[in-house]
Amino acid sequence: MDPKTVGFVVLEHVNAVDVTGPAEAFAQTKRRINGESLEAGSFERCYRVLILGIGVGACVTESSITIQPHLNFADAPPLDTLFVCGGTQIHDRRKREKLAKWLKQRSPLTRRIVVIGSGIHELATAGLLDGRQVAVHWRLANDVASRFPGVRVDPKALFIKDGPFYSCAGGASTIDLSLSLIEEDFGRQTALNVARELIIHLKRSGEQQQYSEALQFQVQSCDRFAEIFTWISCNLDQDLSVEALALKACMSPRNFSRLFKATFGKAPGEFVASMRIAEGRRRLKVPRNSIESVANSVGFRSADAFSRAFEREEGCRPSTYRSLLGVSAAEVLANGQSKVSELMLAQA
């Protein structure tokens, strides 16, 4: 199998992780050669990574790390996937116009085009994103929306697919997007293997918000609650009673309950239940997970107990939720949660 070529157009003062994160994910994607034993260690790379610069000089990132491009973008070979990684430094008009013209020429010849962070300016200037929905870093959203009124800006999503164009907020979410692209190409198990290799705690989907519930919880937390959210999310199938959580926080159950509710507006039991249902909802999207296995994995004693709790929280039973998701597996993967929301509203 010939590796798929992934090109990264790197602009001056780019965020280093926007380049190195996806590049590392693609570089770690390997498959065992047919007929070879595991002991032989015969694997082939699935991707070839090329760094493309504007000009021939090195690119200095925001963190002062220097990236030396392999080629000038104008000399790039045919690409399977093209990343445009934005930077904070404004290049001269002639270079920007040259890049926009090149992007227009390459667009119909490239299977996927991915824009990261402020790189959205380059594609939007070329007119390639008119009428499309894009994920934008929350800090850049207002500026992008005012500069390019024809682009539908989403300041909350981690990443979005709209036709052959993918957009990403940047930062750590570039890894999530890369894993999604790898899953498209080589399947879920390969993507999960890469996630494990990179020590990724959780493979996130694009519809998850940039400002996560976990981070919000940690921002709000006092010192004694600082790590409790992470501990709960990693132990949903364990004893998460008030007594167990209070012991973890080194507090009495009564004091723990009082401070927890005062800080977060929910009793510990309500909070744990909502977390279990939220994670159960995510696991129901995986077709091979049975409702019973999902129930057990998030701490319910039976599928029936999970179903009743799920209905209280979501307004429908897990089987109904899954059947709505299963109208078309391909549609769900392509359109994400919005399709499910539309179907559920139609059923209401």
Q: Is the pTM of this model over 0.95?
A: no
Residue-averaged pLDDT of the chain: 82
Q: How far apart are CA 182 and CA 229, in angstroms?
A: 29
Tens digits of residue pLDDT in 29-83: 998 776 554 455 578 899 999 999 987 788 888 888 999 999 999 899 999 999 9
154-179 exposure pattern, b = at least 16 Cβ within 10 A, e = fewer: bbebbbbbeeebbbbbbbebbbbbbb
pLDDT band at 120 (very low <50, low <70, confident <90, very high): confident
More confident residue, 312 or 225: 312
CATH code that applies to domain 214-347? 1.10.10.60
Tens digits of residue pLDDT in 10-44: 988 888 889 999 999 999 999 877 655 445 557 88
CA distances 15 to 28, 255, 285, Å, are 21, 44, 33
Tens digits of residue pLDDT in 161-212: 999 999 988 888 889 899 999 999 999 889 888 988 887 765 565 555 554 5
Q: How far apart are CA 14 and CA 165, in angstroms?
A: 20
What are the sequence ranges of the domains in the chain? 4-197, 214-347
Residue 111 has pLDDT above 60, yes or no: yes
> What pLDDT does residue 249 have?
83
SS3 162: strand
Domain with residues 4-197, CATH architecture: 3-Layer(aba) Sandwich (3.40)
Please say whether the dihedral angle defined by the alpha carbons of residues 131, 85, 212 and 191, taken in this order, is positive or negative: positive
